[in-house]
Amino acid sequence: MSKPLPVMDWATDFDHRDSRWIEDPFPIWDELRGRCPVARSARFEDGAYFASRYAEVREIAYDSEHFSSRRVIVREKKITPQPAPPITSDPPEHTPARKLLLPAFSPQMISRLEPRTRTLCRELLDAIGDAKTCDAAVDYAQHIPVRLIAHMLGVPESDGDLFRKWIHLVLEVGISDESVILPALQEMSAYFFAEIKKRGGKRGDDLISFLLDARIDGQPLSDPHLVGTLRLLLVAGIDTTWSGIGSSLWHLATHPEDRRRLVADPSLMPTAIEEFLRAYAPVTMAREVVKETTVGGCPFKEKGQVLLSFPAANRDPAMFPDADKVLIDRAENRHAAFGLGRHRCLGSNLARLEMTVAIEEWLARFPEFNMTEGARATWSEGTVRGPRRLPFTLGKARKPV
């Protein structure tokens, strides 16, 4: 696998693996919104499209007739679709596959996880102790969703390194090198089959047990459906929320006025979290064109891969006044960080809980912090955007309450 060639023209030859896009995509999206609302690229099999305005992103998200979810990652070379219901499902299969999972992720069910989330954040902060520096992505953000989803699935939290390895292969490396994907997916499936076997006939208060007992039209889930959904729950909830927490901390480290304001007035937390979700939305989904159509005056050819960029939609000035400014007290915020339409992120309540608790607990312990001088954040590439290294210099730790 070689590095992609640098992009010369974002409108006709875009590449979301380009280092400029990874580092700071916002000026690129602003440029595209102004001159070419649907960019294209021949770098990806059957061609790829990228919509940068809210209106087109919304239209595509709502249109399952022309845009299928069977491929949710734009890849250089297409692979056989790997079902992970319901994210890869289209109507009519989508509705029952999603409805099955919704009760486990409802606001009421997720709020029960708050004490657990708070405890695990405090444990991670205790481990940082009174150090003068740390990596807030590596030492803090990345562990929170891994431990919580492991807790929910009923698998060992100590397997976190394994989960992060699979996610890195599937969502990052696999965009350019499809040979790594199937072995990673097979490893994940084998892992879950072993967990199912371990349970025997016994059921616990965990999502694997929940899915084993689930029925659609009176029938248990097929093995591919069951394991596909389990892989989805593992992949979808980890680097996404890790990115959301990391981007929020990055913002607070690089904008001391916002950090001080939030520390002084914690009642701003709900609007601040929504604004971080808008401005630094981690997740870009994808669709595959299944029927030729036109959106925003631009033709979409059959088989084309579509990058469905909720992050770019969230920066559209036609939708959000001062779209390029992060305003932690923004009261009207119809952002699309969790998607739009039938595929609204199933874990949005969980992600909001994790982000809120993670930032509250961090600020309670470290109200003063900044990027270490001369050091830089590094960002992930591909489907999910967030900092993977956050070298911080820390002020004095406050005593845990």
Partner 1 sequence: MRVRVDAERCQGHNRCCAIAPELFEADELGNAHARGDGVVPPQLEAKAQLAMKNCPEHAVRITNE
283's CB contacts (< 8 A; 6+ apart) are 240, 310, 311, 337, 338, 339, 345, 383, 384
- Residue 348 touches partner 1, criterion: CB under 8 A: yes
- Residue 283 touches partner 1, criterion: CB under 8 A: no
Task: Give SS3 for 41.
Answer: strand
Bridge partners, 215 (sequence order)? 220
312's CB contacts (< 8 A; 6+ apart) are 25, 29, 32, 33, 50, 51, 52, 53, 57
Task: Give SS3 for 378.
Answer: strand
What are the phi and psi torsion angles at 140 (to 5°)? -130, -70
Give the binding range for partner 1 (CB under 8 A) out of 6-14, 180-188, 249-257, 334-342: 334-342
Residue the block writes with tokens 């914690």: 266
- Residue 332 touches partner 1, criterion: CB under 8 A: yes
Among 333, 372, 378, 393, binds partner 1 (CB under 8 A): 333
Dump the DSSP string for 308-361.
EEHHHHTT-TTTSTTTTS--TT-------TT-SGGG--TTHHHHHHHHHHHHHH
Q: Which of positions 249-278 make contact with partner 1 (CB under 8 A)?
A: 270, 274
- Residue 106 touches partner 1, criterion: CB under 8 A: yes
Strands 378-379 and 387-389, bridge-based pairing: antiparallel
Among 52, 243, 248, 349, binds partner 1 (CB under 8 A): 349
- Smallest gap from Cβ 122 to partner 1, in A, equals 24
Give the binding range for partner 1 (CB under 8 A) out of 25-33, 98-106, 291-299, 364-372: 98-106
What are the phi and psi torsion angles at 272 (to 5°)? -65, -45
* Closest to 350 measured CA to CA, from 246, 236, 188: 236
- Smallest gap from Cβ 329 to partner 1, in A, equals 12
- Residue 105 touches partner 1, criterion: CB under 8 A: yes
Among 27, 91, 107, 183, binds partner 1 (CB under 8 A): 107
- Residue 338 touches partner 1, criterion: CB under 8 A: yes
- Smallest gap from Cβ 299 to partner 1, in A, equals 27
Please count the CA atoms within 13 angstroms of the CA of 324 that sit on its side-chain side: 9
Among 341, 376, 395, 398, binds partner 1 (CB under 8 A): 341
Give the binding range for partner 1 (CB under 8 A) out of 173-181, 209-217, 255-263, 331-339: 331-339
x/- track of binding to partner 1 for residues 214-253 (CB under 8 A): ----------------------------------------
Give the binding range for partner 1 (CB under 8 A) out of 244-252, 281-289, 290-298, 333-341: 333-341
Q: How far is CA 295 from the centre of its chain?
A: 25
Give the binding range for partner 1 (CB under 8 A) out of 32-40, 88-96, 335-343, 376-384: 335-343
Q: Which tokens go with 4?
A: 């992609």
Give the binding range for partner 1 (CB under 8 A) out of 14-22, 84-92, 134-142, 329-337: 329-337
Among 279, 283, 340, 363, binds partner 1 (CB under 8 A): 340
Q: What does the alpha-carbon distance between residue 382 and residue 215 come to, in Å, rounded to a whole number?
A: 35
- Residue 344 touches partner 1, criterion: CB under 8 A: yes
- Residue 322 touches partner 1, criterion: CB under 8 A: no
The count of residues in the chain is 401
Q: Which stretches of the chain bind partner 1, using CB under 8 A?
A: 99, 102-103, 105-108, 270, 274, 331-336, 338, 340-342, 344, 348-349
